[in-house]
Amino acid sequence: MDKNAFDWNHARVFLTVANMGSLTAAADAHDLSQSTLSRQMSSLEAQLGLTLFERMGRGIQVTDAGHQLIRYIEVMQEAATQMSLSAKGQSESLRGSVTLAVSELDAAFRIPSIVKRIREQAPELQLNIKVSNAMANLKTHEADIAIRNKRPEQADLITRKLAMEPIDVFGTQEYVSQLEQTDYKNVQIIGFDQQEEVIEILNRRGWSVGVENFQVTTGFQWLHVALARQGNCLVILPTDIGNSLGFKAARRTAQPLLELPIWLVSHRELRTNPRVRFVFDQLATGLDYINA
């Protein structure tokens, strides 16, 4: 056997055997059968090439080699304890990085004030913000936290529903006024990739549109805004953002076009990582101005 081979778990069990002076008591303490514990002790002795204890009736007597090993195990155990405490202390601080995945509009309109507050309260925290309308994979740690409009199906992700966000169709004051005078004839709306779904939603809300009313489609939401500012098309935006941009809502009914849920999502480190919990809580507070 290689004398350098060493099984820490077996060593911990041996320390319990030595302290209790009984194989039976040590087996109970580690929830092992006595035969399993005996095999582990035999394996440890074989790995080290040492006799660690002698059986004396129902008890055991530790050999000199066993007492020497005990001193080494106690030193190792103390070092492991200190390492654990040190790691815990580091994890309980807010020093380190957190990755947040947000959409383009959230990044532009909702996140800056929250980032300001995070930097004021946790200046040593590094915040990495991934801006994309694609859904980040939290299970592979592409991000620690994400803001989504759909509740994830994975049961091991942690979610919190923050609000229901109203969505409307917007344009410049002049363009919407022109459309109102012509009963929205020949309206042009900037579309997304899910064009058929958008058309169906619009028509359920009193519009009468088809693919001919969506001559331009793009997933880049800032381009939607820039095109709407030219005054010849409508765009679909969260109601509060459309209003803040100075656009006019073009409603065909009294209700908004639709309402989308706002979900805050994190992986399970939310329960153990203070940095992730801190950012998660800051987002929950900063985003709750949206009427639920």
Its pTM stands at 0.64
What six digits make up the tokens of 175?
Answer: 């363009």
Strands 53-56 and 258-266: unpaired
Q: 44-62 burial, b for 16+ CB within 10 Å, e for fewer?
A: bbebbeeebbeeeeeebeb
**pLDDT bracket for residue 113 (50, 70, 90):** very high
- Specify whether the CB–CB gap between 202 and 256 falls below 8 A: no
Residue 91 confidence (pLDDT): 47
Question: Measured between alpha carbons, how far is 16 from 70 in angstroms, rounded to an integer?
Answer: 10
Torsion of CA 63, 66, 68, 71, to 10 degrees: -130
| Per-residue pLDDT tens digits for 144-198 | 999 988 887 776 788 888 888 999 999 999 999 999 999 999 999 999 877 888 9
Look up residue 271 and give its DSSP letter. Answer: G
Place of tokens 């849920």: 261
Percentage of the chain exceeding pLDDT 70? 89
Residue 157: per-residue pLDDT: 83
- Measure CA 44 to chain center: 42
